[in-house]
Amino acid sequence: MKRLLTTLTLVTLCSLTAVAQTDTPKVDVFAGYAFGSLDADIDRLTAHGFGISLTGNLNKWLGITGEYSYGRGNLDFQIGNTRIDTNVNVNLFMAGPRLHARSERVTGFVHALFGGANSSASVSAPGVSASTRGTNFAMAFGGGADINLSEKFAVRIIQADYIPVRADGDWFSNGRVMAGVVFRF
């Protein structure tokens, strides 16, 4: 009887440990749509694109995130009778800590990411065109919420970030909102 009780106790403790380990996934993979508001110096520019991220969870509340996003925007305007077309492409690549607040239904998070912004811009008017490209220091401060549909799948209903970029001695204030799907392993 004593042996049976000891065996049942060990099996129960091992089961609880296994359940506790499955509550927090080791890796979160996100892919989704990205909408950006870019500081284009003369005006704000709207960009559409995508974002992906990979988060390695160190424990229930702390993870390390690597993130990439791409956005493309156009700003067309007219000066007198001259139409000016501006096209901008922005690639953001960043990494940093992410803090999670997990429940059965929702996972909220905040993060501070640091890295770079690789941008290219072209401006054209009738008979004239110019382009530029550069990579600059960028940060992202923000957070979001995932609706957990199962242990392995969630929908990121929102991720919002303030993204300051340092270029040519000035700070440019950008914003980004993303939504998509999260796979957990």
Tell me the domains of the chain and their CATH numbers: 2-184 (2.40.160.20)
For 101-156, write each residue's pLDDT tens digit. Answer: 999 999 999 999 999 999 999 999 999 999 999 999 999 999 999 999 999 999 99
pLDDT of residue 177 exceeding 90:
yes
Give me the pLDDT at residue 66, please.
98
State the Cα–Cα distance between residues 120 and 75, nearest whole angstrom. 14
State the Cα–Cα distance between residues 100 and 21, nearest whole angstrom. 16
pLDDT of residue 10 exceeding 80:
no
- Mean confidence (pLDDT) of the chain: 89
pTM of the model: 0.84
Give me the pLDDT at residue 4, please.
41
Question: Please, which residues have CB within 8 angstroms of residue 169's CB and are 6 or more apart in sequence?
Answer: none
Nearest to 178 by CA among 161, 164, 162, 159: 159
